[in-house]
Amino acid sequence: MSYDLPGDASRALLQRGLPHLRNGIHYTRASQKSASKGYVPPAQFIVGRAEGDYVWDLDGNQYIDFQNGWATNPLGNCHPEILEAVHEAQRQYGFQWEHPLRIPLAERLASIMPSGSLPRFSFEVSGTEAAESAIHLALCHTQRRYIVSFTSCFHGEGLGTKMVSAYNSDNNLYMEGWAGGVLKAPFPYSEEIPAGMDQAQYTEYCLWYIETHLTEYVVPAENIAAILVEPGLAEGGNWIPSKAFMQGLRRICDKFDWLLIADEVLTGLGRTGTMWAVEHFDVVPDILVAGKNLSGGIEPCAGVAARDEILGDNPRATAGSTFAGTPGGCAAALKTLEIYERDAVLTHTQHLAGVAMQRMSDWESRYEIVSQVRGLGLLLGVSFRAGREDIEDFHIARSVRDEMLKRGLWAICDNEPQVRMYPALNMAEDVLLEGLSRMEEAIEAVQRSGGVTIGDYPPMPSGNVGF
């Protein structure tokens, strides 16, 4: 099977978007430049329908869905029970601020927080808003000015979250004057470790940098409010920290009376096989940011959980917005959590994680272009390398993702040399294995071709398409 993408219907709609959507002119220029070098355009499509483990494009082609609504549909696409719960809430309440579902959801969330120690919840619409709310909460509670974040981190696309994110070197271009309260620290990646260090040594260095370098040479410890960390560096490439690193951050926070903020927008609510990723590291944060999986991919719902003394009496830390904690969003979240418990979703996720890692276990040794396979639960990533000076590593990753799409498998590849996969937590095992087989076929095809097959195109402007 090999789809010729984009199909006619998808291509026509994508072309219609170029005069109207963001970066349409940039796409045209980049595509012309890339074509002049002999590259072919990427495989792209528009989603026409989604159900369960699959999506279909406007031309009727079916894809196994490892993209998963950008890791937002924990129970697959368009889960009927969640849809019905949302529709019922909308029929009964429409949109009202004071509706009766917020408090039961807050109670339910308090009961599943790490160690039961984060009893209060503040509702937001999106993960971006929730991350910004958590930062403001920490600054106001501690009455300090600085936040520590990490290289390759991603916390959102609002003004505040752009400041703390370090997705790449261009992330804060032209906004440098707004970033005065952010300290960027190195993250202990599991490959491309500098100075000949091993993984443990690099982890120790990263902790030393925060504990000693920042506090002795950059900012006094008493003026730092919090460390903001993803317990699985998701958008940056699905990098998995060690227990020593996460526990080291907790120790440093305790030493200096800083807050530890865990951004679990993508890693939380089962993605890593436990309810919260921090549970893998035996670490309890002071503030936890939740989103994405919370509402089953049907209706926006996100928020911030925190210790009682942080969120119970902090009047300067204003938060929330008109559509924070809508009836539909709360109904979706309550139904999602009910299904998690009823169907033992986390147990199934752990089983699928083992199946996936076993299936990918020999890729590093079998394929020269595969540099690393990693995963925590169903937070899965594969890094690629060109092995040639004339091709950048991320072009290999994009080419693999392109071949995957042509074979009916949808995953994510941005501007990093990784392909990231987020299968639904309840995906059927045979579908997961079929998807991984298609991915391996794509890897074989790119390796046989000798490297890059597509050019340096950005995604064509559309809300449904992206590398």
The percent of residues in the chain predicted with pLDDT above 90, rounded, is: 79
Instruction: Calculate mean pLDDT across residues 261-269.
Output: 98
> What does the mean pLDDT of the chain come to?
93
d(CA 75, CA 332): 12
pLDDT band at 452 (very low <50, low <70, confident <90, very high): low
Instruction: Calculate mean pLDDT across residues 32-50.
Output: 87
* Two structure tokens written together for 247: 């526990």
Report pLDDT for 76: 98
pLDDT band at 84 (very low <50, low <70, confident <90, very high): very high
Report pLDDT for 317: 83
Question: Where do the structural domains in the chain lie, given as residue ranges?
Answer: 8-77+345-449, 96-325
pTM for the full predicted model: 0.94
d(CA 407, CA 188): 34
Report pLDDT for 461: 62
Structure letter (DSSP) for residue 239? B
Report pLDDT for 467: 40
Q: Which of 95-99, 207-211, 443-447 has the lowest mean pLDDT?
A: 95-99
Report pLDDT for 337: 98
pLDDT in tens, 131-164: 999 999 999 999 999 999 999 888 988 888 888 8
DSSP 253-308: HHHHT-EEEEE-TTTTTTTTSSSSGGGGGT---SEEEE-GGGGTTTS--EEEEE-H
* Two structure tokens written together for 187: 């993250």
Instruction: Calculate mean pLDDT across residues 68-80.
Output: 97
Q: What are phi and psi of 412, to 5 degrees?
A: -115, 135
**pLDDT above 80: residue 450:** no
**pLDDT above 70: residue 455:** no
pLDDT in tens, 347-385: 999 999 999 999 999 999 999 999 999 999 999 999 999
Instruction: Calculate mean pLDDT across residues 100-124.
Output: 97
**pLDDT above 80: residue 465:** no
pLDDT band at 456 (very low <50, low <70, confident <90, very high): low
CATH topology of domain 96-325: Aspartate Aminotransferase; domain 2 (3.40.640)
Cα end-to-end distance, the chain, whole Å: 21
Report pLDDT for 37: 78
**pLDDT above 50: residue 464:** no
Report pLDDT for 30: 84
Instruction: Calculate mean pLDDT across residues 85-104.
Output: 96
Most distant pair of Cα atoms in the chain: their distance: 62
Instruction: Calculate mean pLDDT across residues 305-327.
Output: 91
**pLDDT above 60: residue 413:** yes
Structure letter (DSSP) for residue 215? I
Q: Which of 30-39, 211-220, 248-257, 411-420 has the lowest mean pLDDT?
A: 30-39
Distances (CA, A) of 37 to 25, 41, 206, 386, 403: 19, 11, 41, 18, 20
CATH topology of domain 8-77+345-449: Aspartate Aminotransferase, domain 1 (3.90.1150)
Structure letter (DSSP) for residue 455? -
**pLDDT above 60: residue 418:** yes
**pLDDT above 50: residue 129:** yes
The larger pLDDT score, comparing residue 39 to residue 357, is at 357
Same fold, 8-77+345-449 and 96-325: no
Report pLDDT for 459: 62
* Two structure tokens written together for 160: 């505040």
